[in-house]
């Protein structure tokens, strides 16, 4: 698999989206989880896999039902699984 992109801010998300590859995965963390609850201005590239960390949604009081496709909610165990499936990881702050 490609890279796992760990995104912790909206500014980081904008930078990351410009560099996503088809075999990559993106995981929203910290304040970036808000992005999973709004429709993007431009459609997201269809090939990467998109995830959002459940614990960070809950910490911010976001109802899990507010998460929109293509984002899949995952927990810390899913986070660990993603790190083992991807050869590299990149952090976007």
**pLDDT one-digit tens code per residue, 20-75:** 999 999 999 999 999 999 988 888 888 899 999 999 999 999 999 999 999 999 99
Per-residue pLDDT at 29: 98
Mean residue pLDDT across the chain: 95
Does the model's pTM come out above 0.85? yes
| CA-based nearest residue to 82, from 51, 58, 48, 59 | 51
Cβ-based burial of 28 (10 A; exposed 0-12, middle 13-18, buried ≥19): buried
> What fold does the segment set 3-92 form as a domain?
Hypothetical Protein Ychn; Chain: A, (3.40.1260)
The predicted structure's pLDDT at residue 69? 94
What are the extents of the domains in the chain? 3-92
């Amino acid at each position: 698999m490609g890279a796992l992109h760990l995104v912790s801010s909206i500014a980081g998300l904008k930078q990351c989206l410009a560099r996503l590859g088809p075999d990559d995965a993106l995981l929203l963390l910290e304040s970036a989880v808000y992005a999973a609850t709004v429709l993007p201005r431009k459609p997201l590239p269809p090939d990467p896999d998109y995830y959002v960390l459940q614990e960070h949604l809950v910490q911010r009081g976001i109802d899990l039902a507010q998460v929109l496709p293509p984002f899949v909610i995952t927990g810390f165990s899913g986070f660990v699984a993603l790190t083992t499936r991807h050869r590299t990881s990149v952090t976007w702050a």
